[in-house]
Amino acid sequence: MNILEVEQLSIWDQHSGKALVHDSSFQLRKGSCLAIVGESGSGKSLTCRALTRLNPKSLAQSGKIVFKGIDLTTLSEAEIRQKRGKEIAMIMQNGMSAFDPSCVVGVHFRETLGQHLGWKRRVADDHMIKAMERVMLQKPVELLRKYPHELSGGMLQRMMIALAIVLEPDLIIADEPTTALDTISQYEVIQQFLLLRQTIGSSMIFVSHDLGVVRQIADEVLIMRSGEIVERGTTHHIFTNAQHEYTRYLMATRATLSDHFRQLMEGS
């Protein structure tokens, strides 16, 4: 059963008319993780933000986006806003951008949980503290009193994951969530995403150019290049039997980087 069906999605710049995503169609099975892979500028982030209409107003889009049987493109701004967070959670590349810098992070969580679940401060804090402990954040009560700039990128990512655990969305869209993190933080955050899938069984779209991360987390993979889907398949198929020249190039590049890293480590 598909929880999401995207049909002929196109995105273009309204001022220049330049096409940025061309006639893309794909599906996401309930409980599955779909990775969208490609280099910078391939259209993968634009595609994800289009699902909940988070792209800039200067960009236009067409096509159908059917989520749980409802075409999201037909909803009003108020209706789509209600879907964001509770039913569709976005976890962005830059954790700082998800929080109001003028408020402590606890305010963001209380407002979000109050809006979607109607919880008062104490109930919201209790649930957030438990979820933060589950994603290995130390001293959660103190963290709720911190401003975003006082926390590391990895901590902010885990806080967004903790919020998703509390909200239990049907779909999580993670847009390059590990790009800005160091290697150790990347590993920790990926482990939390795996835990998140096990805990609440959400479907997931995971955007990344890191094939090592994709291999760990995804069930299926889409390869995008210059705004077009050039190949798709199971993770096993993409990594062992890629057909498109560009996909094979990505795989070869990853293998070269891995060999170079191994040589450096052996020579150190």
Containing structural domain, residue 40? 2-267
For the chain, percent of residues with pLDDT exceeding 90: 58
Q: What is the pLDDT of residue 212?
A: 81
Tokens standing for 38?
């490609």
- The per-residue pLDDT for range 148-195, each reduced to its tens digit, is 999 988 888 888 888 988 998 999 999 888 776 677 777 777 887 888
- Per-residue pLDDT, 267: 53
Instruction: Of 17, 160, 2, give the one whose Cα is nearest residue 94.
Output: 160
Asked if pLDDT for residue 261 goes beyond 60, the answer is: no
Can you give the pLDDT at residue 125? 95
Give the pLDDT confidence of 198-246 residue by residue, as tens digits: 878 889 999 988 888 888 889 999 999 999 999 999 999 999 999 999 9
The domain that holds 171 is classified in CATH as 3.40.50.300
Exposure b/e, 92-107, CB count within 10 A at least 16 = b: bbebeebbeeeebbbb
Q: How confident is the model at residue 264 (pLDDT cuts 50, 70, 90)?
A: very low
For residue 63, pLDDT beyond 90: yes
Residue 33 near residue 217 (C-beta atoms within 8 A):
yes
pLDDT of residue 30: 93
Structure tokens belonging to residue 23: 């006639």
- pLDDT average, residue stretch 67-91: 91
Structurally, how many domains does the chain consist of? 1
Cβ atoms within 10 Å, residue 161: 25
Q: Which helix (H) or strand (E) holds 24?
A: strand 19-29
